[in-house]
Structure formats: C-alpha cells, structure tokens
A and B are shown apart, each in its own frame.
Chain A
C-alpha cells in the first residue's frame, strides 16, 4: 500500500456501529441483541468457537446479510450530512470469506480482472497482474483456479479482497489453508494495512500469527458478545484465552 494511501486511509475510513442487532435463520438465532461500535483504523480480532456468530457479524458488516432486527450503520470519519448509499459503502469494503469467492473455471488473472471491472478500476489487466505479484501467483496467472492448491486459492482470495485498496477489511479465518510462508505473508499484509490506517475486522477460532496484530479483541459465544477489550484494553489476554491453539490428541491406548 502506498504512502499516499496511508495518509488518507483513516480520513476515508468508516465507523461501523451495530445496535441491538439480531439475526435469525428460522428458529436458530445466530446473533442476539449485539451492540458494538468500531472506529476507523481499529484492528479488531473476533474470537470464539465455531457457531459463535463471527461469520454472521462479518457478513452483516459487508452488507451481505440484513439483520432480523436492530441496525448496522456506517458513518464517515469526517461526518457529512448525506447518508451513505450501499454502493458508496461497498466501494470501501474488501472481504475474505469462509470460501474463496472465486471462479474455479477462470484463471487467476481472469478472476482478478473480472472483479477489477466490477469495482470500476482503471486498466483491470494491469491491476490484476500487479495484484498477483505480492500473492506469489504471477507464474500461475494463466492457470485455472481449479488447478490451485487450497493455500494458493486463499492467497488469490486475499489478493481479490485487496484489489480496490479498501479502507475496511473483513477477514473471516483468512489463515485457513495457508502454509507457514502464506501465513507469514498474510501477517505482513495485515501489518501494512494496519499502518495504512485501514480498519480490519478479522475472525479466528484458533491462534494465528495475524491475530497478534490486533489492537482490540472481541470474544463471542452463542451469538452473544461476551467480552470486549475495547480499543485500549488487553486484547492479547482475550485472544490467548479464547483462540486456543489447536491440539491434536493421539491416544495410543485406543
């Protein structure tokens, strides 16, 4: 991310606030009366077990999912009188989801070119080619995504999310499938984003290198926010407690 971008990221950032948000899928309650405010430039770690509501929260922040009740609001860092339209909000959001959000039948370059065209980027060919370099996928630019390993797909998914230089990054388990080298690249990328002043909300249910960058941690359980370190609290303590390392058990007696 360029230096000029880093000076403007915080100014162009958005504050996200969730007020009494609830999300139901039939009888299942995915989020229960959750209230939360995230300021521009914060790096938030969402931690908690599977099914705790992290993904639902991220998808609401991405405007992919409408709350059953309550409201999700976006405010400019520099307040304006006009309300932001969904398209204006989406211009500033990049997301890496549980799945790669890519087309297996297209090449890596074609995927990025397609999304670059949807984001109105000038010269999508050039931007797609440039975006593949930091992801280490330039040599496989013309290969179909279906021939990629899980880790390569994840790196491409991250490159897609970063295409338009978004000021809000929503990362749902971004380290999934990445090898040690890939995880290190992700941590470096997130570190650069943090320095640029971008808002990052990242979910994880296990320890990862990227989580150490968080300036705020929010623990969730059963669709409820159970602990919030706040912007100046001890994020590390929550992360170490809630995002436990994955332990493999092999009992020879069995």
Chain B
C-alpha cells in the first residue's frame, strides 16, 4: 500500500482525542474558567436567596448543588463540538481512519475530567456557604459525584454533537439536555441528600438508578455515536 497509515485501536484513538481536548483547553482555560465562575455564582446566589439554616442545607443543599452543576455543565458542554466548527476540524476527525465513537468518547472523557475539576472547587465552596461538613462522607460522596458527573458528561456530549449541527445550536443544547437529565438529577439529589442527612446513609436504590442511567446512555452513545457525526 502506498499510504503509510494504519488502523488505530479504539483505546488509542480515544486517548489521542482526549489528550488533544485537554491540550486545547489548558492553552486557554476558557471553558474551565467560565464554568467554575458560573457554578460558584449559582451556589452563592442560592445561598443568599434562601439563607439556609443547617437543617435547610441538609434538606435542600443537595438540590442546589446538583442544579448548579447541571447549569454549569450545559455551559461547558456547548463548545465541545461547536468550537470544532470554526475551522471544520471535526471533518478532519471524521475523515481519520478511526472508529467515530473514539471522537465522541474522547470528548466525553475530557468533559468528564473538566467537570470533576469544577467540582473540586465547587464542593469546598458549597460546604462553607451551606455549613455542610463533607469530610466525614467524602468517600461515598465522591462515588456519587463521579456517577452523576459521568451521566451528565455522556448525555451532554451526545446532545452537544446533535445540537452542533442545528441552526439554533446555542439554545438547543439546554432544551435537550435538561429534560433528559431529570432522572439522573433526581437520583443524584436523592443519593446526595441521604449522605447529607443525620444518618449519613447512602441510598443504594438511587445509586442503582445512576449506574443504570450511565450504562444505558454510554451504550447508546457507543452504538449510535457515529451517526451523529455524519452530514
């Protein structure tokens, strides 16, 4: 064969796209900065609007935390595909001899990583503003945050790919994303609320819902992700 190209394994292609996403973001910090500031503002505004007591925080804090994350994630996920449009670089990715799912997955894992970074800053601020001690529940809380964030990143990346091809792409993503994430939001809030309660128990039913949600949407992304990138 004249061409010196050869097929790349799925994991290697995902790793290449993931590394590229990180490199591009860490050059500008555009997404991370705006998302972190936005998430902090939401938590801050809720705190002042409701002026919650310790009991209120245990009851409603989990909801405020996940709503802040959800709004912030819709801000972060939007450019995931739209910024590929400026130079049509997405076409170069699709043109490469890799499984199209590698493009979706590379971006998905990058978005997941960025959202985790946002949470690392958001959680201490939440703990202080809402007077909720998190140190005693840090292990199970980390598990809940990882599961919830993975679901947001999965659905968000897939819908960002869909929205990027639409004419009103800036408006479309939140309209698609927020309703689709309602089951995950309910489960994440339920699980977090259990951890913030006096008993500090992790409700296994909500965790099971989150695991099922993540597996279902990740599998759907794997099966149908390639179609999302076609013109």
Residue numbers of A with Cβ under 8 A of B are 5, 8-9, 11-13, 59, 62-66, 87-88, 90-93, 95, 97-106, 110, 114-115, 117-122, 144, 160, 164-167, 196-198
B8 nearest CB neighbor, chain A only: A120
Listed stretches B16-24, B112-120, B175-183; interface member: B16-24
Taking CB atoms, residues of chain A closer than 8 Å to B87 are 99-104
Residue among A9, A119, A144 making CB contact with B5, cutoff 8 Å: A119
Bound: A104/B24 CA distance, A? 9
Q: B4 near A118 (CB under 8 angstroms)?
A: no
- CB of B204 within 8 Å of the partner chain: no
Taking CB atoms, residues of chain A closer than 8 Å to B143 are none
- CB of B2 within 8 Å of the partner chain: yes
Q: A101 near B92 (CB under 8 angstroms)?
A: yes
Q: B20 near A103 (CB under 8 angstroms)?
A: yes
CB proximity of A63 to chain B, nearest CB, Å: 7
Q: B2 near A8 (CB under 8 angstroms)?
A: yes
Residue among B3, B7, B86 making CB contact with A104, cutoff 8 Å: B86
Q: B231 near A92 (CB under 8 angstroms)?
A: no
- CB of B198 within 8 Å of the partner chain: no
**Residue among B3, B5, B7, B91 having the largest count of chain A Cβ atoms under 10 Å:** B3
Bound: A118/B96 CA distance, A? 6
Bound: A117/B20 CA distance, A? 11
Q: A167 near B2 (CB under 8 angstroms)?
A: yes
Taking CB atoms, residues of chain B closer than 8 Å to A119 are 5-6, 8, 96-97
Q: B27 near A105 (CB under 8 angstroms)?
A: yes
CB proximity of A200 to chain B, nearest CB, Å: 13
Sort A-B residue pairs by CB-CB distance and give the 6 closest, nearest first: A164-B5, A101-B92, A99-B88, A118-B96, A120-B6, A119-B5
Interface size class of B (residues with CB under 8 A): 20 to 34
CB proximity of A86 to chain B, nearest CB, Å: 8
CB proximity of B116 to chain A, nearest CB, Å: 21
Q: Which of B69-114 contact A (CB under 8 A)?
A: 86-89, 91-99
Q: A118 near B3 (CB under 8 angstroms)?
A: no
Bound: A105/B30 CA distance, A? 11
Residue numbers of B with Cβ under 8 A of A are 1-8, 12-13, 16-17, 20, 23-24, 27-28, 86-89, 91-99, 230-231
Residue among B2, B8, B95 making CB contact with A64, cutoff 8 Å: B95
Bound: A110/B20 CA distance, A? 9
Q: A65 near B231 (CB under 8 angstroms)?
A: yes
Bound: A198/B3 CA distance, A? 10
Q: B4 near A90 (CB under 8 angstroms)?
A: no
Q: A167 near B3 (CB under 8 angstroms)?
A: yes
**Residue among A59, A91, A98, A144 having the largest count of chain B Cβ atoms under 10 Å:** A91
Q: B96 near A92 (CB under 8 angstroms)?
A: no
CB proximity of A217 to chain B, nearest CB, Å: 25
CB proximity of A95 to chain B, nearest CB, Å: 6
Q: A5 near B24 (CB under 8 angstroms)?
A: no
Bound: A198/B231 CA distance, A? 27
Bound: A167/B3 CA distance, A? 6
Q: A12 near B2 (CB under 8 angstroms)?
A: yes
B19 nearest CB neighbor, chain A only: A114
Residue among A5, A59, A104, A106 making CB contact with B23, cutoff 8 Å: A106
CB proximity of A93 to chain B, nearest CB, Å: 7
CB proximity of B168 to chain A, nearest CB, Å: 14
CB proximity of A197 to chain B, nearest CB, Å: 8
Q: A92 near B3 (CB under 8 angstroms)?
A: yes
